[in-house]
Amino acid sequence: MTCSCSPDRPAVEPTSGTGNATVSRRAVVAGGLALGATPLVIGWFNGTAAADTDLYDSPDVTTKTVRPMMFPIVPVRGTKVDRLRNYGQNRGNHIHAGEDMMSAKLSLLLACVDGIVIRRVFASSGNYLYIKGDDGYHYGYLHINNDTPGTDDAKNPPAWAFAPGIVEGVRVKRGQQIAWVGDSGNAESAGSHLHFEIRKPNSKWYWAQPISPTPSLDAAAPAVVNSGASNGNTTTTTTSPAHPIVATPGPFAPFATAALFATQQSRDFLGRTPTSSWTAKAVKDLTSGGVSPARFVERQVNDPAVTTVVNPVIRLYQGYFGGIPSWSGVSYWVNVVRAGTSLDSASNQIAASSKFKSISAKDDNAAFARRVHVNLYGVPPSAKVVAEMKLLLDRGLTRGGLMRAVCESTQYRAASAHRTRVLTVYLAMLHRAPTSSQLTARAAADAASSSGLVALIEAIRTGSEYRART
């Protein structure tokens, strides 16, 4: 695969300070050269003069330096990194100054060394950053994500470009997440990838001469996310066959960051990809607001998107079919309601479905009333209850309407509250129903303690079944 994303370099650079105030890089160069024809030697690095010379556009194609570093990408689970090894490629008007590494959008970008973020640009022209390592070399990350998750909209949501706290001047540790892979800038048509650079020590990073990053990437240590970093990353993984994937415990396991963890909960429980503002608040709550991952999930269980859609569907499904509702059945009707169908209409559609008719074709109104009560409460109804429900049906109330009324009655909602909460957690997190014994035990624990459901959520979140599913 050939990447046609040239030129891979920032268009504007700062004269001093931080932030996004910029002037032309050439203007900076011109200003410096106006002081004299001979470059000024302004400092030393390891005993070697660091000339104040603009070599940004003059890649060194002969040096094969290996810089001790960590591999900079953790790919999205189930994907891999495709290294193009195209440093030094002649692109007509410039020599390619980095190596392009094709990777799935929203793969994690890690600080490959300890250092300081000396440049961070968040702009419609493209997102990128440079880290000045403690070794004096400069490490560049270009084409950082600018899309809302699941799209290619280029709306540049801040929460999905740089990791929380990544600003100019901040110190980062090797393995700390700094950003997400994307296709911003002139890579919009080239596919998501990281253009990765290593530049020699220089007084100005935007004058620093590139060297080939390929030998350093070949020798790089496995990409181990620093669990002590501010993002709470927990995953250890690599992109080289020589470095097998290994999972390690962490605060947001099995997800690498708080943002990825929160996003999954929004999709699983609320049925939507979250907005950048929702994600930013979630990350703040999880990383500095004292909200544990399990408590955060419990919040989603109590969200109106669950209590007014998912829970009523679970109750309806139990009313029609009895037993423990399946993931496929509940998710189908939840999606129908989320698409705009009212719960009343959905109930009538279930009543008229071939699946329900296959088990209730011979039911008269009295038999239907008994079926509803047995399915919901597990015991036969009294003659009085049957007579009351039969009368409503005889007078014209639809079976779907009766089912909705019984399922949403104060009596049944209270009687089934804890079972419904447990079912919601299992169906959303594991995409399966609990066993009968699991449902009974966990519902009892939820009824007995305010932490009962939290304990279930934590057990699922840290278990192998959830890790495999997500």
Q: Are residues 196 and 308 in the same domain?
A: no
User: Is 273 contained in some domain?
Assistant: no
- List CB contacts of 64: < 8 A, sequence separation 6 or more: 212, 215
List, in sequence order, every residue forming a beta bridge with 179; answer none if it has no partner.
109, 162
User: Is 175 contained in some domain?
Assistant: yes
Q: Are residues 220 and 352 in the same domain?
A: no
Tokens at residue 333, please?
Answer: 């009707």
Instruction: Using the 3D structure, point to which of 211, 244, 277 is the last residue of a domain.
Output: 244
Q: Which helix (H) or strand (E) holds 315?
A: helix 311-321
Instruction: Quote the CA–CA distance of 178 and 129 in Å, as a whole number.
Output: 9
Tokens at residue 291, please?
Answer: 């909200």
Number of domains in the chain: 2
Instruction: Quote the CA–CA distance of 402 and 388 in Å, as a whole number.
Output: 11
- Tens digit of pLDDT per residue, the chain (470 long)? 444 443 344 444 443 333 333 333 332 332 232 223 333 333 333 334 444 688 988 999 998 999 999 999 998 877 889 999 999 999 888 899 999 999 999 999 999 999 999 999 999 999 999 999 999 999 999 999 999 887 889 999 888 899 888 999 999 999 999 999 999 998 988 889 999 999 999 989 889 999 999 999 999 998 877 644 433 333 333 333 333 333 334 688 888 888 999 999 999 999 998 998 999 999 999 988 889 999 999 999 999 999 999 999 999 999 999 999 999 999 999 999 999 999 999 999 999 999 999 999 999 999 999 999 999 999 999 999 999 999 999 999 999 999 999 999 999 999 999 999 999 999 999 999 999 999 999 999 999 999 999 999 999 998 889 988 98
User: Is 418 contained in some domain?
Assistant: yes
Number of alpha helices (DSSP H) and beta strands (DSSP E) in the chain: 17, 17
User: Is 214 contained in some domain?
Assistant: yes
The single-letter code of the amino acid at 115 is G
DSSP for residue 158: G
What CATH code is carried by the domain that includes residue 168? 2.70.70.10
Q: Are residues 351 and 430 in the same domain?
A: yes
User: Is 152 contained in some domain?
Assistant: yes
Instruction: Label the pairing between strands 210-211 and 235-236.
Output: unpaired
Q: Are 350 and 333 in contact (CB under 8 A)?
A: yes
Chain centroid to Cα 119, Å, comes to 25
Instruction: Using the 3D structure, point to which of 229, 244, 259 is the last residue of a domain.
Output: 244
Q: Are residues 198 and 341 in the same domain?
A: no
Q: Are residues 154 and 224 in the same domain?
A: yes
- Find the helix packing angle between 410-430 and 365-377, rounded to 10°: 60
- Find the helix packing angle between 276-288 and 293-301, rounded to 10°: 140
Q: Are residues 120 and 240 in the same domain?
A: yes
What CATH code is carried by the domain that includes residue 421? 1.10.3130
Q: Are residues 207 and 98 in the same domain?
A: yes
DSSP for residue 228: T
Q: Are residues 232 and 315 in the same domain?
A: no
Q: Are residues 186 and 330 in the same domain?
A: no
Instruction: Quote the CA–CA distance of 408 and 418 in Å, as a whole number.
Output: 15
Instruction: Using the 3D structure, point to which of 244, 260, 276 is the last residue of a domain.
Output: 244
Q: Are residues 314 and 442 in the same domain?
A: yes
Instruction: Quote the CA–CA distance of 297 and 415 in Å, as a whole number.
Output: 23
User: Is 263 contained in some domain?
Assistant: no
User: Is 283 contained in some domain?
Assistant: no
Q: Rounded to 5, what percent of the chain is helix, strand, coil?
A: 40, 15, 45
Q: Which domain holds residue 207?
A: 12-244
Q: Are residues 161 and 309 in the same domain?
A: no
User: Is 293 contained in some domain?
Assistant: no
Instruction: Quote the CA–CA distance of 227 and 229 in Å, as a whole number.
Output: 5
Q: Which long-range contacts (CB under 8 A, 24 or more apart) does 307-313 make?
A: 309/271, 309/334, 309/337, 309/338, 309/343, 310/269, 310/334, 310/424, 310/427, 310/428, 311/420, 311/424, 312/343, 312/407, 312/408, 313/337, 313/343, 313/346
The model carries a pTM of 0.54
